[in-house]
Amino acid sequence: MKKPVSFRSALVFGGAGFVGSNWVHHLLRETDARIHIFDNLSRRGVHQNLEWLRRECTDSGRLKVTIGDVRDAGLVERAVQNASEIYNFAAQVAVTSSVADPKADFEINALGTLNILEAARKSGRQPFLLFTSTNKVYGDLSSKQLVLAGNRYCALDEKGVNESQPLDLYSPYGCSKGAADQYVHDYSRMFALPTVVFRMSCIAGPQQFGNEDQGWVAHFLYSALENKPLTIYGDGRQVRDVLSVKDLVLAFEKVRAQVEKTAGQIYNVGGGIRNSVSLLEVIDIIQQITGKRLHYSLQRPRPGDQLFYVTDFDKLTNHTGWKPKISVSQNIEMIWNWWKERRVATEVIPISRRLEPALEQIPEAAS
């Protein structure tokens, strides 16, 4: 077996994305870790995130970038060789895209994750590995008893969803993430890799280029600020718990620091009951904060959409002491401040016209 790496060497798949760039920024600011970003740069806005991280990195020797795809097993294996910790945020993230192309969804989410796990196993270094899964592995939760109260649905049991909730892999996206989720968990049992799975609710914060399919809180805010109407699928009273990405990165650090307890565990991670809001309530908060009215139309609900999902994160709190600190209103203000800073930096060009198109070809080169 190879000797463990004596310093923190963090490999972040999807490191130029929303969650990944916030985590890399935290590592650059708060640790002395060497960071390797592995990203295909196919998502809108990631080029700007990458430039932000390069500006933030005062020691050029600490940050390495490989432009590559997790479906390339050979490239993944080379990237993993010297990592002491691995974070897999690379994913196809939209239910709608998974329905349009289930095969690509599977190859990215399930096969890509298996490539990373196999590379970690073969490295002989037993690196810590964290995988971000989704609450969609629990299906539409149609059995949960709800009542309508004003602008939101409420659960009769007043409880969030914990890890004992049976899996119900609804939609190709749920299947691909659920399969990856279980592979990560099983590689801890079968091969003694210290892995952790986060089944996450709605994450929001700065560096998020939200759209209709992913990042809905940011999408709602930008739509209001740019006077663009949006579509709500359902009646708008469906409830989600929203977690600030700033709180999420602290959860990453907590589980890594206490790996003796967290290795092999699955955790539900989200804002919890205190940070649960309906879509209509978020619209009201945005109006209160910005003074901007958000114009929207209602359409039929999409298959698999949950009317009510709130996280019970007690297991993570009990194991690590972690709890979210940032409220939904504070989080929206943080996103708005980031949006305003970017507007100044880019001469007040609307976000929708600043975003780069996806790359048509992915070069297999490190920069």
Pick from 99, 91, 73, 71: which is nearest to 15 by CA?
91
Instruction: Locate 229 and state its tokens.
Output: 């109407």
Exposure string of 40-55, with b = 16+ CB inside 10 Å and e = fewer, is bbbbebbebbbebbee
Q: How confident is the model at residue 281 (pLDDT cuts 50, 70, 90)?
A: very high
CA–CA separation, 354 and 367 (whole Å): 24
Q: Report whether pLDDT(1) > 60.
A: no
| Number of domains into which the chain is organized | 1
- For residue 6, the model assigns a pLDDT of 57
pTM for this entry = 0.90
- For residue 3, the model assigns a pLDDT of 47
Which amino acid, 65? V
The answer to whether position 21 is within a domain reads: yes
Percent of the chain surpassing pLDDT 70: 92
- For residue 213, the model assigns a pLDDT of 80
Q: Report whether pLDDT(357) > 90.
A: no
The answer to whether position 320 is within a domain reads: yes
Least confident of 51-55, 109-113, 300-304: 300-304
Sign of the C-alpha dihedral, residues 92, 324, 31, 193?
negative
The answer to whether position 81 is within a domain reads: yes
* Phi, psi for 245 (deg, rounded to 5): -60, -25
Catalytic residues: 173
Q: Report whether pLDDT(38) > 60.
A: yes
Distances (CA, A) of 131 to 264, 308, 326: 11, 24, 23
List beta partners, residue 197.
131, 266
The answer to whether position 213 is within a domain reads: yes
Percent of the chain surpassing pLDDT 90: 79
- For residue 345, the model assigns a pLDDT of 63
The answer to whether position 362 is within a domain reads: no
Q: Report whether pLDDT(299) > 70.
A: yes
- For residue 359, the model assigns a pLDDT of 33
- pLDDT single digits (tens) 130-153: 999 999 999 988 888 999 999 999
Q: Tell me the pLDDT of the chain averaged across its residues.
A: 90
The answer to whether position 3 is within a domain reads: no
Q: Report whether pLDDT(349) > 70.
A: no
The answer to whether position 60 is within a domain reads: yes
* Phi, psi for 297 (deg, rounded to 5): -125, 155
Q: How confident is the model at residue 7 (pLDDT cuts 50, 70, 90)?
A: confident
CA–CA separation, 207 and 161 (whole Å): 28
**Torsion angle, CA of 173/286/236/172, rounded to 10 degrees?**
0
Least confident of 8-12, 62-66, 90-94, 165-169: 90-94
CA–CA separation, 156 and 200 (whole Å): 23
Q: How confident is the model at residue 360 (pLDDT cuts 50, 70, 90)?
A: very low
- pLDDT single digits (tens) 60-96: 689 999 999 999 999 999 999 999 999 999 998 888 8
Q: Report whether pLDDT(205) > 50.
A: yes
35-56 average pLDDT score? 92
Q: How confident is the model at residue 348 (pLDDT cuts 50, 70, 90)?
A: very low
Which residues fall within 8 angstroms of residue 315, CB to CB, at 6 or more apart? 162, 163, 265, 267, 268
Residue range of the domain that includes 81: 9-349
CA–CA separation, 20 and 277 (whole Å): 25
List beta partners, residue 203.
243
Write out the DSSP string of 324-359.
----HHHHHHHHHHHHHHHHHHTTS--HHHHSPPPP
153-177 average pLDDT score? 92
- For residue 358, the model assigns a pLDDT of 32
CA–CA separation, 31 and 44 (whole Å): 28
CATH number, domain at 215?
A: 3.40.50.720
Q: Report whether pLDDT(154) > 70.
A: yes
The answer to whether position 335 is within a domain reads: yes
3-state secondary structure 112-136: HHHHHHHHHHHHCCCCEEEEEEEHH
* Phi, psi for 65 (deg, rounded to 5): -125, 125
The single residue listed with the structure tokens 């109407």 is 229
- For residue 354, the model assigns a pLDDT of 45
- pLDDT single digits (tens) 175-203: 999 999 999 999 999 999 999 999 999 99
Q: Report whether pLDDT(28) > 60.
A: yes
- For residue 37, the model assigns a pLDDT of 97
- For residue 61, the model assigns a pLDDT of 85
